[in-house]
Structure formats: structure tokens, C-alpha cells
Amino acid sequence: MSRTRTWKSKLRPADVLDAGLYGVGGRTGRSTLTAIGIAIGIAAIVAVFGISASSRADLLAQIDALGTNLLVVEAGNTLFGEESKLPIDSPAMVRRINPVLDATGVSLLRAEVQRNEYDTTPNGLSVLATETSLLDTIEGTLARGRFLDKDTSTLPTVVLGAIAAQRLGITDLTGTPTIVIDGERFAVIGILDPLTLHPDLDRSVLIGETAATEYLGFELYPTRIYARTSPQHVDDVTRVLGRTVNPGAPNEIEVSRPSDALEARAAVDQGLQRLLVGLGLVALTVGGVGVANVMVISVLERRSEIGLRRALGATRRHIGLQFIVEAATLTTIGGLTGITIGATITYLYAQRQGWTVSVPANIIAAAVATALLLGLVAGLYPAIRAATMNPADAVRPSG
Amino acid sequence: MILTPALELDGVSRHYPGSPPVRALDDVSLSILAGELTAIVGPSGSGKSTLMNVIGTLDRPTGGEVRIDGAATTTLTDAGLAGLRAARIGFVFQQFHLLEGASVVDNVAAGLLYRGVARRERRKLSTAALERVGLGHRLRHRPPQLSGGERQRVAIARAIVGEPAIILADEPTGNLDTATSASIMDLLTRLHTEGATILVITHEASIAARCHRQITMRDGHVIADAANTLEKTTA
């Protein structure tokens, strides 16, 4: 008489979610209160990381604006105190270092510069022969005219630093003003804007390398190299520059770098951050316990709903899953609210400090994951209680 | 066809341990054929609620065999029983047991929820079932907006939506006034004539009299099993 026929309960994934949301939607007030604990914890953590990231981003922007990634290589003194020169091909060697984005060599010339042939007042200006890439390497800008290019660097032309232009009394380029270097006339084709990081260049007159040899008869040796590196590799590049430029005598090479700025970059207060994150975690734990508590009560109150669902064919697993999803939904709502609050706090604080706002994506992802995980953990015990409820007891009229 | 048993109980007992142990059901055997409208009647404490739970596979007997639509249940796992309930049994409870937060159409659709039927299809079948019980105009309402009689109609629609082998109605009129009770019985009678197998559990003789067969329980035993030929001719 009996057939070996079986039927299987099935609950579609979309319906699992639906069943989980049923309990949340039905008790909006309670759900909100439950989610608040989680929201506070998440908000605290997101705000702490957001504010410190914004502050850090701001610091980095400030430091980067100063040019942390610009290194200056100079010939130091020999062991005997003589001024040493850099090898003739050293700018090219520096350019060959992988993280070096751009490098330019300049040669200091022992030359005198004057407004005209009759001018004899000392002006403290120096003359530098430079490669045409200098302006890009130091990220300088022109107040007037243009910089040396491959044509003008072979002609008797100069570009003046801001102070040099002032001292020579050249304020604009109308009528092609000229100056005199070691008795030779040079046409001024450009004037630089002031360079905060390079006051020495402000006091310089720049001429092309070919022009320096051709018109002034100098034999050129680079005396200084400006090298711009990718910001992450400043330290690495600093370490290898000496050996690259002068493998025979690396100690004769002086590499200067904005070490003060780098120290500031590393100095982010970690103590306070840890304390605040710790407080956030305490809030989260308390919030999680709150969710578990409310869910246990909810399971008791919804005895008949559980019984009904079992009668309709829900397996224990389906019931357990429903309550897990419900708990996870509560904590996720709390988490998302917390992220919004935390991001808002970060925004307002950064705004007041005049920083650019930065809430790292991995912090948001971690906050969502934490909230979700908390829900799964907090929902486990209530879910087990709901799942193991005797269906016959659960459908019985209460009382 | 007419002789296919929708439900068979073979020497079913349900004893609760204690001192003295309670023999809520003691060696009950009965068979209900497909298409029957049967009442299990008895005073409270007679064991009929236990019988309802055992038939509905919400509770397991301590002895004997329950077969639903030919399938033995004692060997089934808890998940297997859940699957059997989802596919073959429709429940109607005295307390209605509706989901207060869901619309009428979704309450009835919940009858197909654990069968893995897609939502669109569930709602379609739900609407048809609600039309069968005369509530086609109440689809978007929520249970608290309905009268007791209407709520029980929703519950009945939920029980029939999956076309189960048997509908178990546990005191379906227990919370309703006389006139509403009569209309609910009218509905069950009509569903029976449309082919449903219905088992009504009641302590009211007047309700039992509306069914075609009355199985009388007392102290965990079946003491009478009578066909009501008079009712059958009037139906």
C-alpha cells in the first residue's frame, strides 16, 4: 500500500530574503532601536578612520605640493676639500633609474652677468647652463616669454630667474632686451615665476648647454642634478643616487631631500585612533548582544508564525535561515546607517579643517562586512531556538 | 479512483511520558478516502487535537503508521515531513494564523512558499484561490482589516491553493459566531463538492453534522464511525 514517494520543501533565495525582511518590516520601531547600537559603533569606527585618512590625505597633499619627490644631487667636496664635479653623463644615468620620472643636469658657470657692457655693479647672480628639460623637472612656470628649447639653447639666448630679472631691470620682453655675459650679448626670451623651493634658481640666468660652449667657450660638467621620482620610491632612489652618479666615489655626492616633510608624513597619531576604534568595537559588541536579545524575544513572540510556516512546509533550516537573515538585515541596516553617519562626521570635520574629504573604500567595505558578520553571529542562537521549536506546540492556541 | 485513501492511520498511538503516562491516542486506526468530507468530533481532552497534529505530521506518533496520500510518514526525516506538508497537506486553524504584516494575496501565496513556486505564479494561483472563497475583492487588504469570517476564508484559500491531498481544519469555526460558522461550513461543503478531501476536527455536534461522516473520539480511542447519509442527500 505504501509508496516510497517523497516531497522536498524548497524556498527560493529571493523568498529567503523576503521571509527575513518580513520580521524587520513588521516592527519598524523596534528594528530601528535595535539597529542604533550597531549604527553608533560603525559610525565611530568609520569616522575615526575617515578623519585620520582625510587628515593624512591633506598632509600628503601639502607635502607633495612642496615636492617631496624632488631630489637634488650635488657634487660634494673631495676628501681633500676640493669641489668635485659630477661625471658628464650623470644626468643620463640618473634618468635611467627606474622610478626617476625626470632628471635635469645644470652646470654652474664661472661667468659674470651684467645688464650691459657699462654695468659693473656686483649683482650676486649666477649663470647656469641647463638642459631644456629643467622647467618640467622642477615644475616651474614662466612669468613671461618661453623657456629654452632645442633651437634657442643653441643660440645666444637666456631665460632669467625672477630675482635675476628684477636685479637686471628687465620686467617685460618687448623690444627683445639683452644682457651681457662675459662680454657677450644674449637676448632674453623668458622670465621665470618665483620658485619657492629653489631660491637659487631665482637668482640665476639660464642659458643652453650648446650656447654655453659655443659662445662662452666653457667645458661643461654638471654641478647639480634635479631628479623627480615617483613619491613612493623617494627613499629607494635616494639610496642609489650616489652610487649611480659616481660609482667610484659615492661619498662625494650630496643628495638633499625634504626629510622634514617626510618625517611629518610618517607622524600620524596612532594612540588616539586606537582608543577610538576600541570604543567603536565595544559599541558594536553591545549592539550585537542587543540584536541577539531582541531576536530571542521576537522568536518567542512569533511562536505561531513559526508554527504556521512549519505547517506550510518550512524545514527547520528554512526557519533558522529566516531569523539569521532577519538579524543580518538589522545589523546591515545599522551598519549602512553608521557608515552614513561616520562619513557625514568625517565630511563636516574635514570641511571645518579645510581638508579634502577622504573615506577609504576599504573602510566602508570592512564596515559592511563587520555589520553583516555581526548579524550572522547575533542571529545564530535565536535562529537555532526558532528552528528547533516543536511545530505542534507552536500552532497550538496560545494561553 | 474513489477508493484511493487520502489518509490512513494504522494502530496509531501517542503517549506522553509522565506519571501516570498520558495516552492521548491509543491504537487508532482509520482510513479517509479521497473526496470525503469527514468530521472528527469529541469533547476536549478526547485526543482529537493530538490526532490532528499526528495526521498533520506536526507531531510523530509513538506507535503505528500514518500514511498520507499513500506515503508512509514514520520513516521520513523532519525535512521529509516538511516537504510532505508543503506538497500534500493544507491546514486551517482555529486561530487563522495569518501573517498580519502581509497582504491577503501574499498570505494565500504563502501556501506555496515552501514549494519553491516563483512569486508571480504564487500570486496568480493565490488570486484564483481567493476568488474561489469569495474574496477576490480583498486581495490588497491586510488581515487586521478583515472580519473573522473573512480571515478564515483567507486561511481556507491558503489551504486549498496548493491542491493538497487532504485539508485539515482544526476547529475552523471555533472563533466565529453561528452565522459566520454556517457560511464557513457552506464554503467547506462547496469545496468538497468541487473535489477536495476535508477533515474537520470539532467539538461541536452541529458542525460535525454538516459533514458526511463523523468519527467520534473519547479518551484517545475511536468510539464511533458513522456516515451521515441524510446530509449527503441534501448536499
Dump pLDDT digits (tens) for B32-56.
999 999 999 999 889 888 999 999 9
Cα–Cα distance for residue pair A269/B104, rounded to 1 Å: 59
Cα–Cα distance for residue pair A261/A182, rounded to 1 Å: 40
Q: Looking at per-residue confidence, does A58 or A40 come out higher?
A: A40
Cα–Cα distance for residue pair A4/B84, rounded to 1 Å: 12
Q: Do A311 and B85 touch (CB under 8 A)?
A: yes
Which stretch of A81-85, A155-159, B230-234 has the lowest confidence by average pLDDT?
B230-234
Q: What is the pLDDT of residue B108?
A: 97
Pick from B56, B91, B116: CB nearest A10: B116
CA distances (Å), A234 to each of A239, A246, B159, in order? Answer: 9, 19, 75
Q: What is the mean pLDDT of residues A144-169?
A: 91
Q: Do B113 and A308 touch (CB under 8 A)?
A: no
Residue pLDDT, tens place only, A191-216: 999 887 777 889 999 999 999 998 88
Query: DSSP secondary-structure letter at A3?
Result: B
Is the Cβ of B87 closer than 8 Å to some Cβ of chain A?
Answer: yes
Q: What is the mean pLDDT of residues A280-299?
A: 90
Domain count, chain B: 1
Residue pLDDT, tens place only, B112-134: 999 999 999 999 999 999 999 99
Q: Do A12 and B59 touch (CB under 8 A)?
A: no
Pick from B58, B67, B158: CB nearest A2: B67
Residues of chain A positioned with their CB less than 8 A from the CB of B84: 6-7, 313
Q: Given pLDDT bands bounded at 50, 70 and 90, which one contains residue A1? A: very low
Q: What is the pLDDT of residue B234?
A: 43
Alpha helices (H) along A246-302: 259-266, 270-301
Q: What percent of chain A has pLDDT over 70?
A: 90
Q: What is the mean pLDDT of residues B59-87?
A: 93
Q: What is the pLDDT of residue B103?
A: 95
Q: What is the pLDDT of residue A63?
A: 64
Residues of chain B positioned with their CB less than 8 A from the CB of A396: 49
Cα–Cα distance for residue pair B146/B122, rounded to 1 Å: 22
Closest-approach residue (CA) in chain B for A302: B99
Residues of chain A positioned with their CB less than 8 A from the CB of B70: 1-3, 5
| Residue A299 Cα, gap to closest chain B Cα (Å) | 15
Q: What is the pLDDT of residue A292?
A: 93
Pick from A6, A395, A397: CB nearest B83: A6
pLDDT of A260 above 60: no
The sign of the CA dihedral A83, A89, A95, A97 is: negative
Cα–Cα distance for residue pair A163/A166, rounded to 1 Å: 5
User: Which of B92, B113, B126, B166 to mutate against chain A (most A CBs within 10 Å)?
Assistant: B113
Q: Given pLDDT bands bounded at 50, 70 and 90, which one contains residue A104? A: very high
Q: What is the mean pLDDT of residues B150-163?
A: 96
Return the closest-CA partner of residue A112 out of A125, A101, A98, A131.
A125
Residue pLDDT, tens place only, A306-350: 999 999 999 999 999 999 999 999 999 999 999 999 999 999 999
| Residue A375 Cα, gap to closest chain B Cα (Å) | 23
Residue pLDDT, tens place only, B175-225: 899 999 999 999 999 999 999 999 999 999 999 999 999 999 999 999 999
Q: Do A9 and B71 touch (CB under 8 A)?
A: no
| Residue A283 Cα, gap to closest chain B Cα (Å) | 31
Q: What is the ipTM of this complex?
A: 0.93
CATH number at residue B149: 3.40.50.300
Please report the number of interchain residue pairs, chain A to chain B, with beta-carbon separation below 8 angstroms.
126
Closest-approach residue (CA) in chain A for B94: A397
Pick from A314, A391, A392: CB nearest B114: A314
Q: What is the pLDDT of residue A262?
A: 44
Residue pLDDT, tens place only, A5-56: 778 999 999 999 988 888 887 778 888 888 888 999 999 989 988 888 888 7
- Range of B190's domain? 5-234
Q: Do A5 and B58 touch (CB under 8 A)?
A: no
Return the closest-CA partner of residue A163 out of A206, A202, A121, A114.
A202
pLDDT of A272 above 60: yes
Q: Which residues pair with A10 in a beta bridge?
A: B115
Residues 46-75 of B with CB under 8 A from A: 49, 53, 56, 58-59, 65, 67, 69-72
Query: DSSP secondary-structure letter at B165?
Result: S
Cα–Cα distance for residue pair B37/B153, rounded to 1 Å: 17
- Which range in A55-59, A83-87, B146-150 is most confidently predicted, on average pLDDT? B146-150
Residue B23's region, left for phi above 0, alpha for psi from -120 to 50, else beta, is beta
Cα–Cα distance for residue pair A313/A304, rounded to 1 Å: 14
- Which range in A150-159, A380-389, B69-78 is most confidently predicted, on average pLDDT? A380-389
Is the Cβ of B23 closer than 8 Å to some Cβ of chain A?
Answer: no
Q: What is the mean pLDDT of residues A139-162?
A: 91
Q: What is the pLDDT of residue A82?
A: 60
Q: What is the pLDDT of residue A259?
A: 43
Residues 289-328 of A with CB under 8 A from B: 304-305, 307-318
Which stretch of A350-359, B65-74, B150-159 has the lowest confidence by average pLDDT?
A350-359
Q: What is the pLDDT of residue A84?
A: 65
Check: CB of residue B178 under 8 Å from CB of residue B204. Answer: no
Q: Which residues pair with B215 in a beta bridge?
A: B40, B225
Query: DSSP secondary-structure letter at A398?
Result: P
Q: What percent of chain B has pLDDT over 70?
A: 96
Q: What is the pLDDT of residue A261?
A: 47
Which stretch of A72-81, A263-272, B85-94, B99-108 has the lowest confidence by average pLDDT?
A263-272
Check: CB of residue B224 under 8 Å from CB of residue B205. Answer: no
Pick from B69, B79, B114: CB nearest A312: B114
Could you list the beta-strand ranges (E) of chain A: 70-75, 100-109, 113-114, 126-130, 142-145, 157-160, 178-181, 184-192, 204-208, 224-229, 253-256
Residue pLDDT, tens place only, A62-103: 666 666 788 888 877 666 656 667 888 888 888 888 888 889
Beta-carbon count within 10 A of A391 CB = 25
Annotate B1-23 with DSSP letters as a single string: -TT-EEEEEEEEEEEE-SSSPEE
Cα–Cα distance for residue pair A166/B10, rounded to 1 Å: 115
Check: CB of residue A314 under 8 Å from CB of residue A9. Answer: yes
Q: What is the mean pLDDT of residues B155-165?
A: 95
The three three-digit cell numbers of residue A125, written as one number: 647672480
